[in-house]
Amino acid sequence: MPHLSELHGAATHLAVVAVPVYLLILLVRRAGRGGASLAAAEPWVVGAAVAGVGLAGITGLLVWGQAQTTLRGSSFRIGTIHFWLGIALAVTIVAIAAWRRVRVAADRHTHGPELIAGGVLALAAVLTQGYIGGRMTYNHGVGVDSAGQYAQSASGAARLDVALARGTDPAKAGSQAFSVSGLGCASCHGDRAQGLRGPRLAGGVELGDFRHVHAHGLFPPSVVTDADFAAIDAWLRTLPRGRG
């Protein structure tokens, strides 16, 4: 089923193209070239940059939701950096557009050093955003259902299925599957399910709650079956529930 978050990549392309084109226009005009054609094109390019970061921000919030249930443990930092850098880029672009409007209202040229500096800063942010976004997708599988960190889910579930088929006690098999080297649950929930970035799971968790969080995230039903969950939960129920 298509998801609006899939539009994030398309939405970012508008800003990715508009920002360097805007900076190039500023530099050419600063050099005294381009004439009326570039002067007329400049506000359109600025408008495209504003629209691009706006669309990227809206669709990016949906991707941020996916990252919440995809990135394990400390890997979540890359999603946080991507999120706040996107905010900073949006603020920079809006500030450029606002300052340019002030210059136009004062009937002054719009290719001064402060706007060029803003363009350079925006371009640096765009390049960094692109790099981090690529790592989120290609290294960690955010928005990709069969790669990155999903690969660990698949291999961990396969080992769990083999252990259960060989008659291993479900709680013992579930303990290994929960570990960092298994399905990787411990990366977010702690080695003893005491809770880290993810909530405390010691004492057990309901299948419905598990599916509500991860069914369309890191552990889809096609990878982690109800039997797999039951084995992991069997181990969780051997742990003291504690507080929280």
pLDDT digits (tens, 9 = 90+) for 20-50: 999 999 999 999 998 899 999 999 999 999 9
Tell the burial category of 233 from Cβ atoms under 10 Å away from its Cβ (0-12, 13-18, 19+). buried
Give every residue of the chain whose pLDDT is below 70, as ranges.
Answer: 1-5, 145-146, 243-244
Q: What is the pLDDT of residue 146?
A: 66
Q: How far is CA 125 from CA 119, 135, 189, in A?
A: 10, 15, 33
Buried b (16+ CB within 10 A) or exposed e, 194-231: beeebebbbeebeeeebbeebebbbbeeebbeeebbeb
User: Number of helices and strands (H, E) in the chain?
Assistant: 9, 0
Separation CA 99–CA 118 (nearest Å): 10
Q: What is the pLDDT of residue 3?
A: 61
